[in-house]
Amino acid sequence: MRYALLVYEDESVYGPGKSGPASQQVAGRHTAFGRQLGARRLGGAGLAATSTATTVRTQAGAQTVHDGPVAEAKQQLGGFYLIEAPDLDAAIAIAGKVPLFQDGAVEIRALLGPG
């Protein structure tokens, strides 16, 4: 099965202008994590700051374009991994190893369609 591991953290801790030794250390941990996954890693990337996001919202058939992410939250979607795992339990084990800057969450979502 294929899964997306969506990494949520507080962008004010790691976001724009926060490129110090701690940020470099976490970036190194992500590089090492990607190597550990090997062929199970199908893709993934960090995401630009939420201040660069644009959302297209459809309501009652009408579309509007908004600056910013879909919803304001304490933690923002900062990146993702696309992985292959035999089942949800294996995906949970992998998600538990995703490096986080501080407090955060990793949402696991199965991908639809043939894999």
Q: Note the pLDDT tens digit of each residue in 54-113.
A: 888 888 888 888 887 776 667 788 899 999 999 999 999 999 999 888 788 899 999 988
Q: How high is the pLDDT of residue 72?
A: 64
Q: How high is the pLDDT of residue 17?
A: 67
In a domain, 68, yes or no: yes
Q: What CATH number corresponds to the domain at position 44?
A: 3.30.70.1060
Q: Which domain holds residue 49?
A: 2-110
In a domain, 49, yes or no: yes
Q: How high is the pLDDT of residue 2?
A: 96
Q: What is the largest CA-CA distance in the chain?
A: 48
The answer to whether the beta carbons of residues 2 and 111 sit under 8 Å apart is yes
CA 35, CA 68: separation in Å to the nearest integer?
32
Total domain count, the chain: 1
* Token digits of residue 107: 């949402």
- H/E segment holding residue 6: strand 2-9
